[in-house]
């Protein structure tokens, strides 16, 4: 029976004979294991046996553990790790045999990487699935990640409005472990009070000697030497590219709205307030607006999107591309370099 991680706790009374936890998301896998172990302990499973299918492993070891009496007269958990999620011919036969030998004092947990569709159609998988639960631990994306994030925010009792939630979404989509760690820290920093975007920015600024916000300010002000230096420092400090991209997209989106309003001969007075741009930051945007045309801003957005696409589809952090993009904030460089596409 397929059970998703957020539903697992509701499917464990009584415990099944076996549980299959497979997937590539470390946070979901660990949370699923923790929920299973906690419920098993409540139901009297106190002894734990850990096995791994590796060089020297014998499937007879699993059989002997299945048949053995507990040394402590308690019920037992046997956790078997399949690093390749492939038990092979002998393993497949053994797992099918064990599922025909009911043992209410043993809980079998199998863990491993994401299963391919054909693996879920194999005889060994079907025999285990018929006697237990299958927990696919796949990282949620898009609206599913948003629901996960909202649930974790509620879990920690945090108060975040839409904007800081969107900031967290942009920063952490695809990395549940980092997202959960950030929420734990926010709970320590502000357990009772609402958390604003400014507070999140301050938190991320504290994580690095040079902040991503200093970088985007240098870009907006066309301080090329400073921007290139900060970018190099952020790379050497291991700052994640998604954080830098989030900050850049945020500034470019603001710049696009302001420039579009100017081109339509609209007053910026209402937009400053609507976009929550306080007085000390107005000169930074004004500098960029005086220097860049709408077409320049659109090219910058397209370039940032290309870097993001490379990151999400290929897992490549394109620091060279980002350096090139920074240069395009200078109209003179833009005229000579914008046509260049970096592979």
- Are residues 231 and 299 both part of a single domain? yes
β-strand partners of 18: 108, 132
Distance CA 245, CA 2 (A): 36
CA atoms within 13 A on the CB side of 178: 14
Strand extents, DSSP E, 153-278: none
DSSP character for 342? -
- Are residues 243 and 184 both part of a single domain? no
pLDDT of residue 238: 82
Q: pLDDT by residue (tens digit) across 229-266? A: 999 988 888 887 888 888 898 899 999 999 999 999 88
Q: pLDDT by residue (tens digit) across 101-124? A: 989 899 999 999 999 989 999 999
- Are residues 240 and 281 both part of a single domain? yes
Instruction: Tell me the residue range of the domain where 67 lies.
Output: 5-137
- Are residues 128 and 9 both part of a single domain? yes
- Are residues 150 and 133 both part of a single domain? no
Instruction: State which of 137, 163, 181 marks the end of a domain.
Output: 137
- Are residues 29 and 18 both part of a single domain? yes
Are 124 and 96 a contacting pair, CB within 8 Å?
yes
- Are residues 245 and 328 both part of a single domain? yes
- Are residues 340 and 226 both part of a single domain? yes
- Joined tokens for residue 199: 């507070």
Q: What pTM, to 2 d.p., does this model score? A: 0.63
CATH number of 291's domain? 1.20.272.10
Are 66 and 106 a contacting pair, CB within 8 Å?
yes
- Are residues 220 and 341 both part of a single domain? yes
Q: pLDDT by residue (tens digit) across 130-185? A: 999 999 999 898 889 999 999 999 999 999 988 888 888 877 777 888 788 889 88
Among candidate residues 342, 265, 249, the one with its CA nearest the CA of residue 300? 249
- Are residues 49 and 16 both part of a single domain? yes
């Amino acid at each position: 029976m397929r059970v998703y991680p957020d539903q697992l706790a509701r499917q464990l009374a009584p415990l099944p004979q076996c549980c299959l936890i497979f997937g590539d998301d470390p946070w979901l896998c660990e949370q699923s294991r923790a929920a299973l172990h906690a419920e098993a302990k409540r139901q009297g499973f106190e002894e734990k046996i850990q096995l791994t299918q590796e060089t020297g492993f014998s499937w007879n070891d699993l059989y002997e553990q299945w048949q053995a009496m507990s040394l402590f007269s308690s019920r037992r958990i046997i956790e078997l790790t399949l690093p390749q999620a492939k038990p092979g011919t002998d393993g497949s036969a053994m797992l099918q045999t064990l599922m025909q030998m009911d043992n209410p004092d043993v809980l079998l947990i199998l863990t491993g990487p994401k299963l391919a569709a054909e693996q879920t159609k194999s005889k060994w998988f079907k025999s285990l699935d018929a006697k237990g639960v299958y927990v696919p631990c796949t990282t949620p994306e898009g609206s599913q990640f948003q629901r996960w994030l909202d649930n974790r925010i509620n879990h920690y009792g945090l108060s975040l409005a839409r904007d800081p939630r969107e900031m967290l979404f942009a920063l952490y989509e695809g990395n549940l472990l980092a997202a959960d760690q950030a929420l734990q820290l926010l709970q320590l920093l502000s357990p009772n009070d609402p958390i604003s975007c400014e507070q999140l920015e301050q938190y991320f600024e504290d994580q690095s000697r040079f902040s991503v916000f200093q970088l985007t300010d240098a870009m907006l002000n066309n301080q090329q030497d400073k921007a290139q230096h900060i970018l190099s420092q952020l790379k050497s400090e291991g700052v994640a590219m998604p954080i830098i991209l989030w900050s850049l997209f945020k500034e470019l989106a603001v710049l696009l709205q302001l420039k579009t309003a100017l081109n339509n001969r609209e007053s910026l007075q209402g937009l400053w307030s609507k976009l929550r741009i306080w007085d000390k930051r107005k000169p930074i945007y004004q500098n960029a607006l005086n220097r860049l045309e709408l077409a320049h801003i659109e090219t910058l957005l397209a370039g940032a999107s290309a870097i993001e696409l490379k990151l999400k589809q290929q897992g490549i952090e394109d620091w060279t591309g980002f350096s090139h993009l920074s240069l395009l904030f200078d109209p003179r460089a833009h005229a000579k370099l914008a046509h260049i596409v970096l592979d």
